């Protein structure tokens, strides 16, 4: 029996405004069942806002959204009730599948007793099709597999969600959705806390989903392997496809190449138009008196001279008018100036002759045992390992070295933590920088702006009003402004836009500081050229 088809996710001309500031402007997209669309864009471009509007968590300012009734949504914080237990979350995910299986069995018994009941037979066929599509009879086994593959098997089922780590909550929420297999699935940065085994599991599950999938992600490998198309929310003149559209059907790699080509053409057209305007404005108009210059007409050619001179003068006047009017036509409908991307323009760390790391017999009870680690001054080391192997614990211990016997670090240390948390969410970015640097607000602004990490319009906004990506950029700015000799980066690509991730990797590669990076980012790890330390083997 073929599974019952589900309906698509359809967004029509959706706009969203916060405090008079447009975040989304006329977004339209369609994700049919069986398609997996990657949602990409710079930090603050509205990816999370769009998903929340589709899920019904936010009410858009304008436009419409149509989704299947059974819609699954994973926000970046997991969206789970902190007062629920881990077991309750999993049972709630399984309940609809158990109900579908029970409904099929009830209808089957009724049809067996009343074989002539056409309505009941139709209802049975539809219920069976829905249950088959969601593998309802295999739900309990799939729940066990999901818990194991997502690294949840060791968490007691009676533990409160509020007492789990941010990574555990995200993986628990993801497991519940994947087991449930809703008719449509919305995922906001689902890979941030996943190791390799969990990432492979997620990709396999997404490809097997019968319904529509829309996933906002910075994970370049996931976008390439699992997605059948891309929707790009970055503003542009001619879109990703060159004709104004934001939707790309095909691989993520093809999308990136097409977007780069469209951007180059846009920049070339804008520059060419500026050159045309300058040339036309500077060009001297041919003077009428220049006709037949240097020779007066004879009696025999006066008529010819007058006739040709009149024609030349008319053409000259026409060219003059065209020269005057063309800039006006261009200015009425100009090629807009390509917006300057928010780029990372920083020196990550500073050279220091004494910034090495020495670890002997480091023990953090229940979390990490590391016998030995030596990192030379200026060396860059990638720390890898499964979830729970102690990567974040190691970087935290190094950041607080005086509290741990056997840990020695030379120089100033700065750490980018895995989870972005600000103690004062109503403080603005420039106020946080002013407090860090001991400077007046205006001087803090002057320090922050050149980094290219915080948009000028966000400098005075409360950090709690910024997206997670924007908060991550601010946290990175605070790390940079600390001018560290030793740089500890815990999952540094989490929540950052694809463009910024590329630039961050280049900045790390060029940094003279001693650098330790803990990362699950497969794209980063595939291109890593320095030393790698695996805590799975430590």
- pLDDT tens for 18-29 read 888 888 988 999
Summarize pLDDT for 127-178 with one digit per residue, the tens. 898 888 888 999 999 999 999 999 898 899 999 999 988 788 889 999 999 9
Mean of the per-residue pLDDT values for the chain?
A: 85
Phi, then psi, of 533 in degrees rounded to 5: -120, 120
The b-or-e profile of 137-155 (16+ CB within 10 A means b, else e) is eebeebbebbbebbbbeeb
Residue 229 clears pLDDT 90, i.e. is over it = yes
The length of the chain in residues reads 538
Question: Which band of pLDDT confidence, cut at 50, 70 and 90, is reported for residue 272?
Answer: confident
pLDDT at 383: 95
* In a shared domain, residues 229 and 375: no
pLDDT at 324: 59
127 within domain boundaries: yes
262 within domain boundaries: no
Which residues are bridge partners to 184 per DSSP? 71, 212
Q: How far apart are CA 107 and CA 129, in angstroms?
A: 13
> Could you write out the DSSP letters of every residue in 236-273?
-SSTTTSSS--EEES-HHHHHHHHHHHHHHHHHHHHHH
* In a shared domain, residues 363 and 231: no
472 within domain boundaries: yes
* In a shared domain, residues 380 and 514: yes
* In a shared domain, residues 502 and 368: yes
Q: Report the number of distinct structural domains present in the chain.
A: 2
pLDDT at 20: 81
242 within domain boundaries: no
Neighbours of 237 (CB within 10 A): 18
320 within domain boundaries: no
Query: Pick from 235, 250, 270: which residue ends a domain?
Result: 235
Which residue has better confidence, 109 or 386?
109
Phi, then psi, of 175 in degrees rounded to 5: -60, -45
- State what percent of residues in the chain have pLDDT above 90: 48
Instruction: Report the first-to-last Cα separation within the chain, whole angstroms.
Output: 51
204 within domain boundaries: yes
* In a shared domain, residues 92 and 224: yes
Query: Pick from 210, 235, 260: which residue ends a domain?
Result: 235
508 within domain boundaries: yes
pLDDT at 185: 96
The alpha-helical segments, DSSP class H, found in 333-438 are 391-399, 429-437
pLDDT at 21: 84
- Mean of the pLDDT values across residues 284-305? 50
Neighbours of 350 (CB within 10 A): 15
457: domain CATH number?
3.40.50.300
Q: How far apart are CA 274 and CA 265, in angstroms?
A: 14
pLDDT at 299: 53
Domain span including residue 475 = 357-534
- Mean of the pLDDT values across residues 295-301? 53
197 within domain boundaries: yes
Are 197 and 125 a contacting pair, CB within 8 Å? no
Residue 301 clears pLDDT 70, i.e. is over it = no
Which residue has better confidence, 488 or 261?
488
- State what percent of residues in the chain have pLDDT above 70: 86
Which residue has better confidence, 370 or 332?
370
337 Cβ contact partners less than 8 Å away, ≥ 6 residues apart: 270
Q: How far apart are CA 267 and CA 261, in angstroms?
A: 10
Enclosing H/E stretch for 198: helix 196-208
Summarize pLDDT for 64-109 with one digit per residue, the tens. 999 999 999 999 888 899 999 999 999 999 998 999 999 999 999 9
Residue 76 in tokens: 């970046």
Among the ranges given (34-38, 192-196, 337-341), the one the predictor scored with the smallest mean pLDDT? 337-341
pLDDT at 165: 81
CA neighbor of 413 nearest in space, from 504, 507, 346, 479 = 479
pLDDT at 413: 93
Query: Pick from 201, 235, 269: which residue ends a domain?
Result: 235
> Could you write out the DSSP letters of every residue in 97-109?
HHHHHHHHHHHHH
pLDDT at 289: 46
Complete edge-to-edge strand list for the sheet that includes strand 486-490: 413-416, 486-490, 514-518, 380-384, 531-534
Most confident range (mean pLDDT) of 8-12, 234-238, 456-460, 534-538 is 8-12
DSSP letter at 288 equals: G
Summarize pLDDT for 406-437 with one digit per residue, the tens. 899 988 999 999 888 898 999 999 999 999 99
Q: How far apart are CA 36 and CA 170, in angstroms?
A: 20
Are 186 and 108 a contacting pair, CB within 8 Å? no
Residue 252 in tokens: 């993520």
* In a shared domain, residues 227 and 366: no
pLDDT at 321: 61
Chain-centre distance for alpha carbon 326: 41
Residue 535 clears pLDDT 50, i.e. is over it = yes
Residue 305 clears pLDDT 70, i.e. is over it = no
| SS3 category, 19 | coil
* In a shared domain, residues 511 and 363: yes
């Amino acid at each position: 029996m073929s599974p019952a088809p589900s309906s698509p996710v359809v967004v029509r001309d959706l706009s969203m405004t916060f405090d008079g500031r447009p975040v989304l402007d006329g977004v339209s997209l369609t994700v049919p069942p069986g398609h997996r669309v990657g949602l990409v864009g710079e930090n603050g471009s509205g990816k999370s806002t769009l998903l929340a509007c589709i899920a019904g968590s936010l009410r858009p300012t304008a436009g419409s959204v149509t989704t299947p009734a059974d819609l699954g949504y994973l926000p970046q914080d997991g969206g789970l009730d902190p007062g629920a237990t881990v077991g309750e979350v999993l049972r709630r995910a399984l309940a609809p599948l158990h109900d579908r299986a029970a409904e099929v069995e009830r209808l089957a018994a009724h049809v067996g007793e009343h074989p002539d009941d056409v309505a009941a037979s139709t209802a049975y066929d539809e219920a069976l099709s829905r249950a088959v599509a969601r593998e309802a009879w295999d739900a309990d086994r799939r729940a066990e597999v999901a818990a194991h593959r997502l690294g949840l098997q060791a968490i007691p089922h009676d533990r409160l969600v509020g007492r789990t780590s941010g990574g555990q909550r995200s993986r628990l929420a993801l497991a519940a959705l994947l087991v449930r297999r809703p008719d449509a699935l919305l995922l906001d940065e689902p890979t941030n806390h996943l190791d390799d085994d969990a990432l492979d599991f997620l990709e396999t599950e997404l490809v097997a989903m019968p319904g529509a999938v829309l996933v906002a992600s910075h994970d370049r490998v996931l976008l390439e392997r699992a997605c059948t198309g891309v929707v790009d929310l970055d503003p542009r003149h001619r879109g990703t496809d060159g004709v104004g559209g934001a939707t790309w059907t095909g691989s993520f790699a093809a999308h990136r190449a097409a977007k780069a080509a469209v951007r180059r053409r846009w920049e070339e057209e804008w520059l060419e138009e500026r050159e045309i305007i300058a040339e036309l404005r500077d060009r001297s108009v041919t003077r009428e008196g220049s006709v037949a210059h240097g020779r007066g007409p004879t009696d025999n050619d006066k008529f010819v001279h007058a006739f040709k001179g009149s024609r030349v003068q008319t053409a000259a006047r026409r060219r003059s008018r065209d020269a005057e009017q063309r800039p006006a036509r261009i200015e009425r409908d100009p090629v807009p100036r390509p917006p300057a991307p928010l780029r990372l323009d920083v020196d990550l760390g500073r050279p220091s002759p004494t910034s090495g790391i020495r670890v002997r017999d480091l023990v953090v009870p229940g979390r990490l045992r590391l016998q030995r680690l030596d990192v030379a001054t200026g060396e860059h080391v990638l720390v890898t390992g499964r979830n729970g192997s102690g990567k974040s614990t190691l970087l935290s211990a190094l950041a607080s070295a005086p509290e741990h016997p056997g840990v020695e670090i030379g120089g100033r240390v700065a750490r980018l933590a895995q989870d972005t948390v600000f103690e004062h969410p109503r403080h603005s970015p420039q106020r946080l920088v002013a407090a860090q640097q001991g400077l007046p607000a205006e001087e803090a602004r002057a320090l922050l702006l050149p980094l290219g990490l915080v948009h000028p319009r966000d400098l005075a906004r409360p950090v709690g009003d910024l997206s997670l990506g924007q908060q991550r950029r601010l946290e990175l700015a605070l790390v940079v402004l600390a001018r560290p000799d030793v740089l500890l980066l815990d999952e540094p690509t989490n929540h950052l836009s694809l463009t910024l991730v590329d630039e961050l990797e280049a900045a790390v590669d060029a940094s003279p500081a001693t650098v330790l990076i803990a990362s699950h980012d497969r794209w980063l790890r595939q291109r890593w050229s320095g030393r790698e330390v695996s805590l799975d083997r430590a």
